[in-house]
Structure 1
Amino acid sequence: MDLSEAVYKLTVDFPNSELFGLTNQLRRASVSTASNIAEGYGKCTRGEYVQFLGHARGSNFEVQTQLMLPKRLKFGSDQHRQNAERLSDEVSRMLVAIMTKLRK
């Protein structure tokens, strides 16, 4: 949820022309990351949980990729972008750790 909040704070300053482009894509991918973690946790089996954590990891990779473009185009504040990047990296590490533990 912290990642999604950081992405929303970053994208609020994007140009209006990006509302249905990069703004929407970044927001959806960050929310999808958190939603897949929650949905997987609510599943009945460990295998399903791991599967949804994999979906969350994929969505988080989308976020990481999409965060490169605002940096290049100088959209949003550097502070908000760096915070979102840091949180995305942290989410990535946590997902790998949880998936590794669950697979044992």
Structure 2
Amino acid sequence: MRFAIKLCKLASSFPIKFSRIRDQLIGAAISIPLNIAEGSGRKSQKEKINFYKISRTSLFECIPILEICLSLKLIDGKEYEELRKEDLELSKMINGLIKSL
């Protein structure tokens, strides 16, 4: 959840002319914890895995968006590297959830 909040706060600071990038990043970020929560509430293993995979896909979607933000100088290199590292850590956690089922 912290990663999603961090990305939402970051995206909210973008100038209005980058509203499409802002909305895309916020949408992908919010999808991560929401799909984990929805998957956790499902009874069948297949449904759980499906929602966890959707969450992971949203997480992967954040990477190219952040790369675009870096190229457009909406974020700096240090910020990008920190977010990329968090993204990879979260990806490992989601993969662990999937493998545990």
Calculate the TM-score normalised by the size of structure 2: 0.88
Distance 1:81 1:12, change over 3 A: farther
Q: 8 Å contact 1:11–1:76 — kept in the other structure?
A: no
Residue 86 of structure 2 aligns to which amino acid in structure 1?
A: L
- Give the aligned length: 101
Structure 1 residue runs without a partner (length 5+): none
Matches within 5 A, 1:1-104: 1-19=1-19, 21-102=20-101
How far apart are the structure 1 equivalents of 2:87 and 2:52?
Answer: 14
Residue identity matched to 2:2: D
Per-residue deviation, 1:76:
3.2
Per the TM alignment, residue 41 of structure 1 is displaced from its structure 2 partner at its CA by 0.4
Q: Tell me, what secondary structure is at the counterpart of 2:60?
A: helix
Q: Could you state the TM-score of these two structures normalised by the residue count of structure 1? A: 0.86
Contact kept, 8 Å, 1:33 with 1:56, in 2: the verdict is yes
Instruction: Provide the aligned C-alpha RMSD in A.
Output: 1.5
Distance of 1:76 and 1:11 partners within structure 2: 10
> Looking at both structures, which has the greater relative contact order when contacts are Cα pairs under 8 Å and sequence separation is at least 6?
1
- Unaligned runs of 5+ residues in structure 2 are none
Q: Percent identity?
A: 28
Going from structure 1 to structure 2, the CA distance change for 1:8 and 1:80 (only over 3 Å counts) comes to farther
